[in-house]
Amino acid sequence: MITLPEPDRKAVVLVVDDELEILVALADLLEDTYDVLSASSGEQGLALLQQNPDVAVIISDQRMPHMTGDAFLARARMVSSAGAILLTGYADISAVEAALNQGKISFFAYKPWDDETLLSMVAQAAGRYELEKELACEQRLLRGLLDNLPFGLAFKDEKGRFIRLNQQMAAHFGRPAEACIGQKEETLIDAERLQSLKEAEAALASGARDQQVLRLTSPDGQARWHDLTRMKLGGAPDDAGQPRKDELADYSILIDRDVTDLLNLEQRLRQAQKMQAIGTLAGGVAHDFNNLLTAIMGSLELVMDLEPPKEPGVARLFHNAIEAARRGGALTQKLLDFSRPRHLSCQQVEVGQILRDLQSFMVRGQVPDDLQTALGANSEEAASRIGSVQFDIPDEALPPVWTDAVQLELAIFNLCINAQDAQPDGGTISVSVRKAARLLGRSTTAAAGGAWVVVQVMDRGVGMTEEMQARIFDPFFTTKDIGKGTGLGLSMIYGFINHCGGEVRVESVPGGGTSIELWLPAMATDVNAEDSSSSVVTPLPAQQERAATLPPVGDGRLILVVDDETGVRSVTSGFLRRAGYEVLEASSGAEALAMVEGRPEISLVVMDVMMPGMNGDEAARRIHVLRPDLRVLFVTGYTDLGLLPAGVTVLHKPYTRDALLGDVRAMLAA
C-alpha cells in the first residue's frame, strides 16, 4: 500500500532506553514538535515498530541489557526505513562507529547530549525519511503508470541506450522489455524506421522536439500508422531563461502511439459531420428566421386590421411586404428540406445484435463487418480509447426497429466517447437496451403494440447543468475545450434519431453523471423505405379544405398562447383577441403549467414546439396529466416533427391569421 505524506501531521519518533529518566528527558525535549513513542528495551521497541509502521526517527541508547542499540537498530532496519540515531557513552564509541560505517545509523550523539544538536539531528533524519517515503511513492506511481499506458514509452541515456521502457514499446520492437535494456534503438528497428530515427536525431541535436506520423509495418506484418514523438529531457532554465545543463540534459524520451484505428474512426466521424454540418446549420437558421417572419407577417396583418391604409400606394406597400414575407417562408422551407438527413440506408435492425457487435469490438477488438470501412480492420486502439464499457443486453428477443444500422452504431460509439470525456478521472460506462411500452404518453406509428426500443448510455462523470442540457443539441455547442470537440456530434445524433421517428432523452446532474437514451419505435412488420420515410406526425387537412364545416370565430373562450419569442407570442395573441377570444400568454413551458393548473376555464393551448428549458412536447405531456381533456395546437418553424406525437395538429411558421384561426376553430369544435 502506498502511504502519502501528510504535511500537517507530526512526524513520529521512537525513543528506546532502559533508563526511565532518559526516556522522560527525551520526551520533554521532543514532544512539542514530534509524536513520541517510548520503549524501555530493544524487544519492546521492535514491537512498537510493528504496530506503528510510520515511525520516522528512532533514537536508541547503545548500552542496554539483552540487546545493544546497534543490534536493535540492525533488526529495526528489516521492518522500518526510519532514520536512526544512537546515544552512547565514550566507552561504546567503537560499536557506534562500526554501525555508522555500515549504514545502520544516520547520526550518533554522546551522553549527555546538547539539545540543539540532537534536535537538528532528529529534524534531518525525519526530513530524509519523509523524502525517501515520497520518492518510493513516486517510483511506484510512475512504474504503475509506465506499465499501464496505452502506448509505448521509453527513456534513453546520453548515448542513446534504453534505460527504461514498457512492454508496449518493446512489443513494437518484437521482443521482451528486458532484452531491450542497454540496446540502442537503431539495433532494434528495421530500415523503415531507421530513416525516421535519423531525421529525429537531427532535430533533437538542435534542441527541437520531433514528432512524426508514419505508416510502418508491425512485427506481425500489418501496416499501421504510428505517432512517434521524441524529446530531450533538457536542463531547467536558469534565471536568464537559458537552458541549464545537468547530468540528465542529454537523456531523451520516445513515445510510440499506434493511431491507425483512431485516424480511421476520426475520419469517419468527421466525414459524417461534414455531410450534415451545413444542413444542420441551415435548419437552425431557418427555424430562427421563421420566427422573425411570423412576427413580421402577423404584425403587418394586425396593422392592416387596426388601421387599413387609405391611400392605394400605402396599401400596395403593405401587400408587397406581406408577400415578401411569404416568399421568405418558402425560402426557409427549402433550407429545412436541405437540412433533413438524406443519406440513410434504413432497414429493419435488431438493436440487441448491434450492441453485441459493438461489445465484441470494444472489449475484444473484433469489428463488425459493416463497420470495417469506418473503423479499420483492427480496432483495438479505438476500443481502448473509450475505457471500461459494461453492456447489459437482455437474453429475450427485442422487436426490430427501422433505422440505419451503421449510423446507429456510430451514434452509440460517439455517446461512449462523450461519456469517457465526461469522466476525466476514469470510470465505467454503461450501455444497455430495453423494451418500453410507451414514451411518456407518446405513441408510435407502425409500432409493435406501441412499443419502443430504448438504448441507454450512462456515465458517472461531471454531469451537466440545466443550462447545458438546454443547449446540448444546438449545432456547434460544446462543453469541451477549444480544439477538443466540434459541437456537432449530439446534434447529428438528434437529427438522425428523429428522422427515424425516435427521440433522444437526456438526464444529468452536476457531479452525478449523465444518462442519454435513444428511443426508437419498434416495428411490427416489414415495411418498405417509402412507408418509413413519411413523417411520424399527421397534420390535419389544410384549413381551406375544411373551412366550410367550421363554427364561426369568436365565442369568447379562453386560449393560452405559449412561445418564448415575444414577437411571435404578441402576434398570435393579437390575432386571437381580434377574433373575439380571451387570451393568456406564457413565455415558457413551466409558466404554462402554472397557468393551466390555476385556470380551469382554459379551452385550448397554442404552443411553440422548440423552447428552452422545457420544449412543447414535454410541456404538453405534463399539461395532459393535469387536464387530459385540454387540447394543444403546436406551432413550429422546423419541419422535423419527430418530437411530437402522431395525429396532433401542427401549424407551421410563418403562418397567417386565417391559418391560425382555422386550426383554432377546428380544435375547439372537435
Query: Is there a contact between 100 and 71 (Cβ–Cβ < 8 Å)?
Result: no
| pLDDT at site 664 | 92
- pLDDT for residue 538 is more than 70: no
CA 644 – CA 618 distance, rounded (Å): 9
Buried b (16+ CB within 10 A) or exposed e, 177-206: beebeeeebeebbeeebeebbeebeeebee
For the ranges 145-159, 208-222, 506-520, the lowest mean pLDDT is seen at 208-222
- pLDDT for residue 29 is more than 90: yes
Share of the chain above pLDDT 70, in %: 74
For helices 589-598 and 616-626, the axis angle rounded to 10 degrees is: 20
- pLDDT for residue 222 is more than 90: no
Residue 439 is given by DSSP the state: B
Listed in sequence order, the residues at least 6 apart from 187 whose beta carbon sits closer than 8 Å to its beta carbon are none
**What predicted TM-score, i.e. pTM, was given to this entire model?**
0.38
- pLDDT for residue 185 is more than 80: yes
Does residue 483 or residue 596 have the better pLDDT? 596
- pLDDT for residue 571 is more than 70: yes
**pLDDT single digits (tens) 495-530:** 777 777 777 888 888 888 899 999 888 886 444 434
| pLDDT at site 33 | 92
What cell numbers appear for 520 in the block? 426508437
| pLDDT at site 102 | 66
| pLDDT at site 450 | 64
- pLDDT for residue 235 is more than 60: no
Mean predicted lDDT score pLDDT of the chain: 78
| pLDDT at site 138 | 87
| pLDDT at site 372 | 47
> Which domains, from first to last, does the chain contain?
12-146 (3.40.50.2300), 148-233+249-263 (3.30.450.20), 270-338 (1.10.287.130), 343-438+450-521 (3.30.565.10), 558-669 (3.40.50.2300)
**What is the mean predicted confidence (pLDDT) over 456-484?**
72
The backbone region for 103, taken as left when phi is positive above 0, alpha when psi lies in -120 to 50, beta otherwise, is left
Share of the chain above pLDDT 90, in %: 24
Name the residue among 155, 168, 144, 141 with its Cα closest to residue 384.
168
Buried b (16+ CB within 10 A) or exposed e, 305-326: eeeeeeeeeeeeeeeeebeebe
What cell numbers appear for 104 in the block? 545502520
| pLDDT at site 342 | 46
Strand ranges, E, within 339-451 = 347-349, 389-392, 401-403, 429-436
Rg (CA), the chain: 38
Does residue 101 or residue 574 have the better pLDDT? 574
| 3-state secondary structure (DSSP) of residue 32 | coil
- pLDDT for residue 536 is more than 90: no
- DSSP-assigned beta bridge partners for residue 258: 226
Residue 438 is given by DSSP the state: -
The Cα diameter of the chain in Å comes to 127
Does residue 535 or residue 514 have the better pLDDT? 514
Does residue 238 or residue 46 have the better pLDDT? 46
Does residue 414 or residue 131 have the better pLDDT? 131
Q: Which residue has the cell 391611400?
A: 311
| pLDDT at site 632 | 93
Q: Around Cβ 408, how many Cβ atoms within 10 Å?
A: 24
CA 669 – CA 533 distance, rounded (Å): 32
CA 80 – CA 71 distance, rounded (Å): 14
**pLDDT single digits (tens) 597-611:** 999 999 999 999 888
The confidence band for 51, taking pLDDT boundaries of 50, 70 and 90, is very high
- pLDDT for residue 148 is more than 80: yes
Q: Residue 364 half-sphere exposure, CB side, CA atoms within 13 Å?
A: 8
| 3-state secondary structure (DSSP) of residue 185 | helix
- pLDDT for residue 334 is more than 70: no
DSSP H or E run through 524: none
Query: Is there a contact between 35 and 12 (Cβ–Cβ < 8 Å)?
Result: yes
Buried b (16+ CB within 10 A) or exposed e, 492-528: bbbbbbbbbbbbbbbebeeeebbbbbbbbbbbeeeee
- DSSP-assigned beta bridge partners for residue 39: 16
Does residue 3 or residue 539 have the better pLDDT? 3
**pLDDT single digits (tens) 645-666:** 767 888 888 888 888 999 999 9
Question: What are phi and psi for residue 534, nearest 5 degrees?
Answer: -70, 155
- pLDDT for residue 586 is more than 70: yes
**pLDDT single digits (tens) 273-314:** 554 565 666 666 777 777 788 888 888 888 877 777 778 877
**pLDDT single digits (tens) 449-469:** 568 899 999 998 888 887 787
| pLDDT at site 654 | 84
Beta strand 12-16 with 55-61 is: parallel
**pLDDT single digits (tens) 52-91:** 989 999 999 988 888 988 889 889 988 888 999 988 876 5
